[in-house]
Structure 1
Amino acid sequence: MTGGIFNKTSAFALVAAAGLMMGGLSFATTSAKAADLGADDLEARVAELEATTVRKGNRKVSLELSGQVNRALVAWDDGKDSDAYVVDNEQSSTRFRMKGTGTISSDLKAGFLIELGVNDSNSANVTQANDDLATEDTTVKIRQANAFFESKTFGRVTLGQGSSATDDLGIINLSGSLSDASQYFNNVYTVRGGGNVTWGTIVNGSNFFDSSRGDFVRYDTPALYGFILSAAWGENDVWDIALRFQKEVSDFRVAAGVGYYYNGEHKDNTDPRAAVASTVKFDKVFGSASILHVPTGLFVNGAASSITKYNTSLGDVDSQAWFVQGGITKRFLDYGATTVYGEYGNYDDAGVGSEYVANSGDYITASDVTRFGFGATQAFDGAGLEVYAQYHHYEADVKVENAAVKLEDWDAVVTGMKLKF
């Protein structure tokens, strides 16, 4: 019995010794190879690794890479047909950005921002007939490409492709609702019973609650008691001015903004299928506000807008819109905040002056659209992820040369996920 144990122990010892010898031999071989690598060879190897590594052009400018992917499934019903599309969610679209900043002095810095949108099957451009509309917005496009100077004392000047002063002014939102007053999911869907009229024609107007990006010179003041004043001038006779405010007062977090936007050479291409875009001059006053009660997570968001279009087929046309949203955002789960909300909006006379049926000479003389819905968003902080579900309902009344028209409602259920990096 003792001999058996001895024999087994001896066998284990021999295996261990063999392992040590092999390990020692491997270490010796590796050490020998390392010793054989001369200084010149080592420098060449380092240079090779540097050549294949993504890096900044210099050490004077900090570089930040970030972005997001936002994909959604939209199941829609227009009163006659229904389908489901996989889209890029234009409410907060897929993009990636590069931002660089260099310090000039303790008060002054300069930098740049380049942001590209990757909008395959853009939710603002798909139609009943086509779930992948072939326009420039379904491919990679430049959202921002600008340079800036920023002073703590005097503010910030930005030059290049980017946001006007009023961009995002009408969609201020302190909650995690991932839904806003702008309308994107049925933008170029034909309204059933409405000839060639699209939902974008009778809802967006000239985009009630937002402003487009373009080539601008923009100035933003430093924050003063929570206020920031912005102004911008752009190509094609476009200029605007905006005032924003954000502050925490007692248990409440408050954010708001109001602005004026003028476009002297607007190309009204609400329907991207149109062969030639018409030119309509317009201006608008609009704004929004958001209030969040921090202890409870209860919030209310609201927006309002008034637009005047000049020299349309029916002369000067005034249109108005308003939108309200309320709910709760709170950390019910350890993963992150849960947001539940309901929303309601009205868009009045946005379609006035638009042609009702192609080449008929009949024009919309009045339009009224009611929108309501609800939704939920769950954040997963550890992954930079938000998962959401939304329900949208639109119903419209339209008059053509003072004759009422019967239109079908539009409904959709939207589910998706947004991942930030």
Structure 2
Amino acid sequence: MKPKLLLLAPGLCLSALPALADNLTFTHPSGATATFYGQLNSTYQRVDDGEKSYDDFVDNGNSGSRLGFWIDVPMGANTLRFNVETALGLKSTSDTSQYNHGADLDWRRTSLRKFEGVYSGNFGAVWFGQGSMATDGAAEIDNSGTGIVGYVGLADASGGYEFRNGSALSGITISDAFKDFDGDRRFRVRYDTPEFSGFKVSAAYGEEILAEDDDAKYYDVALRYSLANDVVKLDAGLGYAWKDAEETTEQVIASASMMHVPTGLNLTVSAGDQKDGGNYGYVKAGWSGDVNNYGKTALSVDYYDGSDYQIADSDSKSWGVQAVQSFDDLNMDAYMGYRKYEFADNSGADYQDLSSLLVGANWKF
């Protein structure tokens, strides 16, 4: 019971201090500022693998708990910024499995999300250090307001759980069978062009320094577009990435999300293909609006269709429903999401469906 209390208590206590979010920026007489931020995102996770059900109170892998700070230093017309951000090391919904469930605390160096600097001006922006590659987020653009509990990154909700072949565990996990090929964070150098008519191009080269036994070289480029007015909010991205190792890996990803501002109706699509590694398509339809005085309410349904993961000619299908209620005075979002996962191939195996439920709250400061 103690691990559950350790996860829940910080959120309950800190949620009573929403004013804290307005008092975390400090200014030096020189004009430099330091801004601290973070979030606590604890959730109840229930997974049913067709034979057994598993219940946990863990961190929400869709948007994990974290702490960080920005330091901004004005340099004439340009700006020099530094960012440090780390996960808290809490067990995530993406890590639990039939063998590994229950809350614990295990901070590792891979928990370090960002340690970077960026110099920006009219020429664009140059990034250096641990942080996002050019294609990070290019497959996961989502304006539905429900991404915290369900989005194209399906494995984040319960990726460690294995499908059962009959009653026996198959060794094939949700993260094996459902991928979106989105970019990652690496120790990299990256350049972003200035925005031109809503378009921006990014390119990066990086290496993995936080995980062991990875000597590959990573390269990627991405094109992004944004449009916002009183009628529509549109964001889109297209990316190409390749991994230079003993076996070269190439992948193409794209996503777009559009909201009709007057009605709150929105549509999100995503697709990706990895050379010799599978492909997928994803669609989400949703609505966001005001039904109470607390904050925005967002509802959505989505569907994922993938193929050729793990086994040639395999099929990976999933559907989900999501709901998020914002509480503006508390800087908090409460959410609930249900998802069904299906996997099949031509080997004659009888894979049972998996399902997951997430119920939780995310408090930001």
TM-score band w.r.t. shorter chain: 0.7 to 0.9
Alignment correspondent of 2:114: 144
Change (3 A) 1:332 1:366: same
TM-score using structure 1 length: 0.74
| 2:288 match | 329
Q: Quickly say closer, same or farther: Cα 1:136–1:346, change in 2 above 3 A.
A: farther
Counterparts of 1:20-419 in structure 2, within 5 Å, are 59-105=30-76, 107-132=77-102, 141-151=111-121, 153-177=122-146, 178=148, 179-183=150-154, 184-193=156-165, 195-204=170-179, 208-235=180-207, 236-248=216-228, 251-265=231-245, 281-308=248-275, 317-352=276-311, 365-399=312-346, 403-419=347-363
Change (3 A) 1:335 1:88: same
Greater helix fraction, Structure 1 or Structure 2: 1
- Gaps of at least 5 residues in structure 1 are 1-53, 266-278, 309-316, 353-364
Is the CA contact (8 Å cut-off) linking 1:120 and 1:132 kept in structure 2?
no
SS in 1 for 2:329: helix
1:186 positional shift: 2.4
Q: Please list the CA deviations of residues 9-60 of structure 1 after superposition, one character each: whole Å capped at 9, or x if unmatched.
A: xxxxxxxxxxxxxxxxxxxxxxxxxxxxxxxxxxxxxxxxxxxxx9788745
Q: Could you tell me the TM-score, scaled by structure 2's length?
A: 0.85
Structure 1 residues 57-66 or 210-219, which shifts more?
57-66
Instruction: Tell me by how many angstroms 1:366 deviates.
Output: 2.9
- Counterpart position of 1:16: none
- Within 1, Cα distance between the matches of 2:304 and 2:334? 24
CA contact (8 A) 2:79 2:120 kept: yes
Mapped to 1, the partners of 2:142 and 2:73 lie a distance apart of: 31
Distance (whole Å) between structure 2 residues aligned to residue 388 and residue 163 of structure 1: 27
Q: Is contact 1:88–1:123 with CA below 8 Å preserved after alignment?
A: yes
Pairwise CA distance, 1:119: 3.4
What is the CA–CA distance in structure 2 between the aligned matches of 1:62 and 1:154, rounded to whole Å? 23
Contact 1:118 1:140 (8 Å CA) reproduced = no
- The one-letter amino acid of 1:143's match is R
Which residue identity does 2:364 align to in structure 1? K
**3-state SS in 2 of match to 1:169:** coil
Distance 2:107 2:265 in 1: 36
1:224-244 superposed Cα distances (whole Å, 9 cap, x missing partner): 111111110012310100011
- Greater RCO structure (CA 8 Å; 6+ sep): 2
- Structure 1 contact 257–289 (Cα < 8 Å) conserved: yes
| CA shift for structure 1 position 288 | 0.5
Partners of 1:56 and 1:247 in 2: how far apart?
Answer: 32
Equivalent-residue separation in structure 2 for 1:388 and 1:231 (angstroms): 35
Report if the CA contact (8 A) 1:395-1:410 is conserved.
Answer: yes
- Structure 2 contact 26–33 (Cα < 8 Å) conserved: no
Q: Which has the larger radius of gyration?
A: 1
Alpha-carbon shift at residue 137 of structure 1 (Å): 6.6
Please list every run of at least 4 consecutive aligned residues from structure 1 whose deviation after the TM superposition is greater than 3 angstroms.
54-60, 132-140
- In 2, distance between residues paired with 1:366 and 1:138? 37
Q: CA RMSD in A?
A: 2.1
Contact 2:126 2:191 (8 Å CA) reproduced? yes
Identity percentage over the alignment?
Answer: 28
